[in-house]
Amino acid sequence: MPNRPSVIGMTEKLVLGAMLFGTVQDERRSFELLDRFVAAGGVWIDTANCYAFWEDPSGFGTQSETLLGRWFASRPGVRERVKISTKVGCEPLEAGRFPETAEGLAAGVIKNGIEASLRRLGTDHVELYWAHKPDPVTPLEETVAAFDELVSAGLVDRLGGSNYPTWQIERARGIARATGATGFTAVQQQYSYLRPRPDTRPSVVHRFGAATDEVIHYLEHNPDMALWAYTPLLSGSYTRTDKPLAPEYDHEGTKRRLAALDEVAAELGTNRNRVVLAWLTGADPVVTPIVGVSTVAQLDEAMAGAALPLTAGQRERLDAAV
C-alpha cells in the first residue's frame, strides 16, 4: 500500500467512482488509485454492471466490476475495509443500442444482475444496490419485490434509486411500506454547487438525472434518505480552462456563485474544487459526492476537499449567491 496522505477523518464522506476503471483507466493506474483511497481511510467505492460499455470495443460493460474483483483478490483483507455500491438496469442487451435496449428492472434481470455482479466482484454481498434508471415497462411492484428478495437473502444491505423522478421514488417507497418490503434509502443523481438554467438537463443521458430543488426538498422531509451526487466537480470545469462549463450553466447566477466560490477559496488558501466538495459534504441534508479521478493528485485533492471545514459565515455566503 502507498503512504497514507495527510488527510484524516474521511470515513464515508466521499465515494470513489470506479466507472472508468478497467477501460479508460488501466489496471495499474486503477489499482494505484484504489490503494491510495483505502490508505487514506476511504470506504465507499461506486460502480455498476454496465460500466463502461461506451468505452469498450465490445459495446458491453462489466469491466469496472471485473477489475475491482481482481483488486480484491490481490489485496487480502481489503474487502473488509471497504463498502461496495453497484447498480443494475442500464446494461445494453445489444451493442450500440442504448438506451433502447437497456436491460430494465424485471425480477429476473435483478436476480441475475446481482448474482453476476457478485461473481465479478468476488464477494458474497454488496452494501448498496441501485436501480440504475427507471424501467418504463416493468411494474414498480415487481421491481420493489425483487430488490427486497436480495435483502432478505443477505446479498444486499441497502437499496437506492438512481436517476429517478421524485414521485417514482416515493411511490416505490410507498409500495415497500405497504408490503413490508425493504425500500430505497438513497438517491443518486447529478448535483453540484453551480445550478443549471431551468428546463435544461445537465445529465444528457438521464431525463431525471439532476437533483433539482424538488429532490432536495424531498430529502429534507425524509431524513432516512441519502443523496449521492455524481459529477460533483462538473468534469473539471471549476478549475480547468480546457474544460469549459456546459451551456446550461451560462447565466448570471453562475457568475455570482463562482464569485462567492472564489472569495471563500481565497480566504482558505485553496481552490474551487475543494470548496465545492466541502460545501457538499457539510450540507443539510448531507450530500455524499462521488468523485471520478485519473491521478493520485486529483484523488488527494478531492479527499482534502471533503475534509475541509467551512465556517457558518462562509457557508451562508455560498448559499446566498443565486
pLDDT for 156-213, tens place per residue? 999 999 999 999 999 999 999 999 999 999 999 999 999 999 888 776 689 999 999 9
Please give the tally of structural domains in the chain: 1
- pLDDT of 5 higher than 90: no
Is residue 4 situated within a structural domain?
Answer: no
Domain span including residue 136: 15-320
Q: Per-residue pLDDT for 217 more than 50? A: yes
* pLDDT of residue 10 exceeding 70: no
In a domain, 145, yes or no: yes
In this structure, is residue 167 part of a structural domain? yes
Tell me the Ramachandran region of residue 281: left when phi exceeds 0, alpha when psi lies from -120 to 50, beta otherwise. alpha
For the chain, what is the mean pLDDT? 94
Report pLDDT for 199: 82
C-alpha cell at 94: 445489444
Q: How far apart are CA 127 and CA 85, in angstroms?
A: 6
* 3 belongs to a structural domain: no
41, 8 contact by CB (below 8 A)? yes
| pTM recorded for the entire structure | 0.94
90 within domain boundaries: yes
Structure confidence at residue 316 (pLDDT): 97
Indicate whether 6 belongs to any domain.
Answer: no
Cβ atoms < 10 Å from Cβ of 194 = 20
The pLDDT tens digits of the residues spanning 86-135 come to 999 999 999 999 999 999 999 999 999 999 999 999 999 999 999 999 99
What's the mean pLDDT in 10-39?
94
Q: Is residue 81 part of a domain?
A: yes
Residue 10 forms part of a structural domain: no
Residue 249 DSSP label: G
Helix (H) or strand (E) holding 279: helix 272-281
Q: How far is CA 54 from CA 29, 97, 116, in A?
A: 20, 10, 20
What lies within 8 Å, CB to CB, of 225 at 6+ separation is: 184, 185, 186, 187, 218, 219, 285
pLDDT classification of 11: cutoffs 50, 70, 90 = low
What is the rounded distance in angstroms from the CA atom of residue 70 to the CA atom of residue 319?
43
Percent of the chain as helix, strand, coil, to the nearest 5: 40, 15, 45
CATH code, domain carrying 296: 3.20.20.100
Task: Say if residue 9's pLDDT is above 50.
Answer: no
